[in-house]
């Protein structure tokens, strides 16, 4: 007996699928094409061009956004913006105080002093009262006059009077002037030793940070009824935070794996933005005039502040 498939009729074996049996014209779109007028086409092209230009401007705007940590652009213009600020001219760097910096080979190189507005007053006070150029421990001009002018004279006079009283019956009061000269020379030597102790160049990095903190509070703090500066004002807090952030950023350049200080820096960046947003909500004019004083651009603290993570090192 023949197989069933062979016994099928010829028209069943030659059956064509329904999709292939349709005429070619039936699969094409039979609706009339939409004709676009010249006016609509020009409007569409103009809209596309405007969107492309807007996208380019947005990209350029994002590329020129200030660094969220340093709060200014990472170019020459941004560096000049920071150097012209009052905070940059106020704080002292360790290399400037010590007078030396270490190069890549570990050798010490002399650092040229930076010209500051108070240099004339400091030089005049040193010439008049003596002592080091920069005092440590928060000492001011009044303390300089007391330590290096009034105190040596008082000590020399008191000791000369004591010696004159003890030797009055033997040699008389004529030896008072001679003893006074010797005691003044001795007190001058003591004042020189004290000047070396109180010199800011002998301070550590922590001592220089304390001195910079005192300078920032005295400069940006508004006077209160008690006579001292207002340490809780937004200006003082933002200036102190900016100084601490820049210190940590400089430290992290050489300590890439210091994750603890990197987290601390990220927290301080957001805290500074919060303080400045508070100042803007209270007094916008005061806010706009204060930002250039600490070298912070508005775009670095407004909106969403995203601090980058650990920088990647390219493998050779």
The whole-number pLDDT of residue 138 equals 82
CA angle 138, 79, 255 (to 5 degrees): 70
For the chain, the farthest-separated pair of C-alpha atoms sits apart, in whole angstroms, at 163
Question: What is the predicted pLDDT for the residue at 185?
Answer: 78
Counting runs of H as helices and runs of E as strands, what totals does the chain give?
15, 2
CA angle 187, 191, 193 (to 5 degrees): 115
CATH classification (class only), 66-99+204-303: mainly alpha
Residue 135, strand partner residues: 199
Taking the CB of residue 162, how many other CB atoms lie within 10 A of it? 12
Cα gap 313→65, rounded to integer Å: 23
pTM to 2 decimal places: 0.72
Q: Which residue stretches of the chain have pLDDT < 50?
A: 1-2, 5-6, 10-11, 13-14, 19-20, 26, 31-33, 169-170, 316
Residues whose CB falls within 8 Å of the CB of residue 288, separated by 6 or more in sequence, listed in order: 298
CA 52 to chain centre: 36
| Tokens encoding 230 | 């207002």
Q: What pLDDT, on the 0 to 100 scale, is given for residue 230?
A: 84
């Amino acid at each position: 007996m023949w197989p069933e498939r062979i016994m099928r009729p010829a028209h069943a074996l030659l059956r064509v699928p329904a999709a292939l049996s349709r005429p070619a014209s039936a699969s094409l779109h039979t609706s009339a094409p939409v004709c676009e007028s010249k006016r609509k086409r020009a409007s569409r092209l103009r809209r596309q061009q405007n969107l492309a230009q807007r996208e380019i401007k947005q990209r350029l705007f994002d590329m020129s956004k200030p660094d969220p940590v340093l709060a200014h652009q990472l170019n020459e213009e941004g560096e000049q913006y920071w150097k012209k600020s009052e905070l940059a001219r106020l704080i002292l760097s360790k290399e400037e105080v010590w007078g030396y910096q270490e190069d890549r080979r570990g050798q010490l190189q002399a650092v040229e002093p930076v010209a500051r507005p108070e240099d004339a007053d400091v030089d005049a006070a040193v010439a008049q009262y003596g002592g080091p150029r920069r005092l440590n421990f928060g000492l001011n001009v009044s303390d300089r006059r007391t330590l290096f002018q009034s105190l040596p004279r008082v000590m020399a006079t008191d000791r000369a009077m004591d010696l004159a009283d003890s030797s009055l019956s033997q040699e008389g009061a004529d030896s008072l002037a001679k003893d006074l000269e010797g005691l003044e020379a001795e007190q001058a030597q003591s004042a020189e030793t004290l000047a070396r102790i109180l010199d800011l160049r002998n301070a550590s990095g922590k001592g220089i940070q304390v001195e910079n903190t005192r300078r920032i509070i005295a400069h940006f703090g508004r006077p209160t009824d008690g006579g001292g500066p207002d340490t809780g004002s937004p200006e003082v807090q933002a200036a102190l935070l900016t100084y601490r952030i820049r210190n940590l950023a400089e430290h992290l350049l050489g300590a890439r794996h210091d994750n603890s200080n990197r987290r601390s820096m990220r927290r301080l960046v957001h805290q500074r933005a919060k303080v400045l947003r508070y100042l803007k909500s209270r007094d916008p004019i005061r806010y706009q005039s204060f930002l250039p004083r600490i070298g912070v651009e508005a775009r670095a603290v407004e909106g969403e502040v995203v601090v980058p993570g650990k920088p990647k090192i390219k493998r050779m």
